[in-house]
Amino acid sequence: MDSNPFAVRLAPLLEVVPGDLLAHRPEVFSPLGEVDRALERALASDSELVVCGVDESGAGPLAGPLVAAACVLPRGFEHPLLRDSKLMTERQRSQLFDELSQDPEVSWSVAVASVERIDSDGIRPANLWAMTEAVRGAAPSGGVVLSDARDLELGPEYAVFPLVKGDRRSLAVAAASVLAKVTRDRIMCELDAKHPGYGFAAHKGYGTAAHREAIRRLGLSPVHRRSFRLS
């Protein structure tokens, strides 16, 4: 018998892992939500086990923090707007963020990796740190975690499944992507007011031609990532 009681409780997942969770080829990806429903069916007899999606926003920009969000949706959750945040308008994301964050049945958490952490630790370690903090905030008792971070390690109380293009396949990951992106976008709008001239509210710190020109003209702001190529 397995010495880890949590692993025993997760045994039904073995039947859905190969086809629904571990596919790496786009032609075999399941439609949005099928992963969540498969997991819900597998976990139907254990109401305490949750499915937690985690995603990040801001790994690539030249300025500002990285934000990770984790989200546990109630079983059977549906919303007409919910999909990959990159496929939504800003207004749709903002509306869905407000609805998710105010829903008492949705458990969610965000973690912000500062510019200082990114520069000192590196973007990948900062990303993993933020994802870990977010998951532990949204699912403190453990559960099934869906993430595109293949090296995310959370401990024996979590079962982590890497899900390629998870924000287009899992409702929980898609919800996390909305929470992460809107949180970061709002932070960047605040930074735009504190550090005018760079256009942070428009491009959110990404390396656009206008942003790089502003760096050449104004120099670096306190919220630029010195560890990135900024010229």
The CATH number assigned to the domain holding 39 equals: 3.30.420.10
pLDDT, residue 1, reads 41
Residue 226 included in any domain: no
Residue 201 included in any domain: yes
Residues in Cβ contact with 35 at an 8 Å cutoff, skipping those fewer than 6 apart: 20, 21, 146, 163, 169, 170
Range of the domain at 117: 5-218
Residue 202 included in any domain: yes
Residues in Cβ contact with 175 at an 8 Å cutoff, skipping those fewer than 6 apart: 53, 71, 73, 82, 96, 100, 106, 108
- Beta strands 66-72 and 51-57: pairing type? antiparallel
pLDDT, tens digit only, all 231 positions of the chain: 455 566 666 666 656 655 556 667 777 777 889 889 888 888 887 778 899 999 999 999 999 999 999 999 999 999 999 988 888 999 999 999 999 999 999 999 999 999 999 999 999 999 999 999 999 999 998 889 999 877 888 988 888 888 888 899 999 999 999 999 999 999 999 999 999 999 999 999 999 999 999 999 999 999 999 999 887
Q: What is the pTM of this model?
A: 0.92
Residue 130 included in any domain: yes
Q: Structurally, how many domains does the chain consist of?
A: 1
Residues in Cβ contact with 173 at an 8 Å cutoff, skipping those fewer than 6 apart: 53, 54, 55, 146, 147, 148, 163, 166, 167
pLDDT, residue 7, reads 61
Residue 49 included in any domain: yes
Residue 24 included in any domain: yes
